[in-house]
Amino acid sequence: MVRRAPDERSRTGAWYTPDHLVDLLVAASLDNLRTPTATVRVIDPACGDGRLLAAVISTLEARGLAVEAVGCEIDPPTARATRERLGSSATIIEGDALEHPWARSDFDLVIANPPFSSPLSKRGPTAITEPGSPYADLATRFWDLALELIRPEHGRIALILPQSILSSRDAENVRRHTESTCRLLWSWWSETPAFDAQITVCSVVFERSQNPKGIDWTGVVTDRLGLPPLPSRLSTNGTIAERARIRANFRDEYYGLAGCVTDTGSGPPLITSGLIDPGTCHWGRRTTRFAKQRFQAPRVDMDCLSDRFHRWAKSTLEPKVLVATQTRVLEAVSDPDGSWVPAVPVVRLEPLSHVTPDEIAALLTSPIASRLMWSQSAGTGLSPKSLRVGVAGLSDLPWPAGGLHDAAEALNHGDIAACGRLVHRAFDITEQGPLTTWWEQHLPGRVE
């Protein structure tokens, strides 16, 4: 193996595959592999030191099969070392696989641990980097290449990918392409980072199919976390997006507020994600951090803000619900008087005329809302067991056909468990069961 300094590995995304993951991925990718000829054609377009190719070649030859193996490596010293390691058993191409003119696209297996570098790579755009998804990760582009390289009948793709790709916006195009042409044969995920880079990853094996049946992307994570299934039927009436304007703050607002937050004065309280629990705001009772400073009771000095950010902060002082953005279950609190300014990246929901902030907060404080959010956003949080809550995920949450008045009353009285059960009643969920148990076990203060 060519040794690289940590900074160089981070810049290039060159994190070598641990042996246990090599064994898992190779075994899954070759299980019942169907090929049209006696020679199995295999390619690793980001072969690194060749350990995946070596394991595939060894396994297939032990089965008495002929192998035509190709690897591609962008780093010249690594490519030379891999060529020496594999000898005549593989052809190692020195260059960038994303720019190489591949003459044939009929490989039986594409297997790779592609680089996990910054999305703002110097590499040029590919088919999946389109308007609306300008930050497609480099690993996503190798996934897109793999779809081009496999043969149309029963060709397989075996990849190690960043966990975030399962639900990130910028990988949506390649996920849709995969859904329309492949079926998921196998997946693996672990909450423990598999690399020195401390990146949480997943492994997947796809097979080309004439009858793809759809892929449960977030199930790769939720199944292994042991999350209970969703009810088979919900009684709904539209979505939350039809009853509230859902807004997120961005970097500009963060820097606009920085330097204008203080523990003194009479400005409106600033509410960070860390101050939000289900139905409860801990402002003034729990310290919090904002802009690299710790505050006991942070307030926004409105006179300190520029005209632009003064207008923005004033616009947030309306009845609303605030939602924390990195949580295990949804954490929302109602601000019916419009007294608080949301910090970045807190999400706010401003109710339309026919619902109240308390009803929206009650809906979000329920097992069904948290589980639905996991179905949409598993793998997006800063930790493997957390969600990144955003506007899109909240917008898609269904609104129950039944009323939420009783649930809102329970939430206002601090009975979080009762609120969750009453929201389920509004969805016509008659049995609480494992879903309610899971949710209650992971409410703040009860997390393992």
Please tell me the distance from the alpha carbon of residue 161 to that of residue 119, in angstroms, as a whole number: 14
- pLDDT at residue 145, as a whole number: 96
Superfamily of domain covering 236-441 = Adenine-n6-DNA-methyltransferase Taqi, Chain A, domain 2 (3.90.220.10)
Helices (H), 31-163: 51-62, 76-86, 138-149
- pLDDT at residue 232, as a whole number: 85
What are the angstrom distances between the C-alpha of 323 and each of 93, 320, 362?
A: 50, 10, 12
Paired sense of beta strands 332-335 and 201-208, if any: unpaired
What are the angstrom distances between the C-alpha of 140 and each of 71, 144, 167, 186, 222?
A: 18, 6, 12, 18, 21
Residue spans per domain, the chain: 6-224, 236-441
Please tell me the distance from the alpha carbon of residue 201 to that of residue 18, in angstroms, as a whole number: 12
Tell me the mean pLDDT per 10 residues along the chain, length 448: 43 65 96 93 96 97 96 95 95 96 90 74 40 58 95 95 82 93 92 66 93 86 83 94 93 94 95 96 96 96 96 97 93 97 96 94 97 80 73 94 97 96 95 90 70
Query: Which secondary structure element, helix H or strand E, spans residue 357, and what is its range?
Result: helix 357-364
Q: What is the CATH number of domain 6-224?
A: 3.40.50.150
Cβ burial of 38 (10 Å; 0-12, 13-18, 19+) is exposed
- pLDDT at residue 17, as a whole number: 80
3-state secondary structure of 89: helix
Half-sphere exposure in the Cβ direction for 163 (13 Å, CA): 30
| Tokens of residue 193, six digits | 């980072």
Helices (H), 171-290: 172-181, 219-225, 251-257
Helices (H), 5-75: 6-12, 19-30, 51-62
Please tell me the distance from the alpha carbon of residue 242 to that of residue 255, in angstroms, as a whole number: 31
pTM over 0.85: no
| Tokens of residue 15, six digits | 């994190």
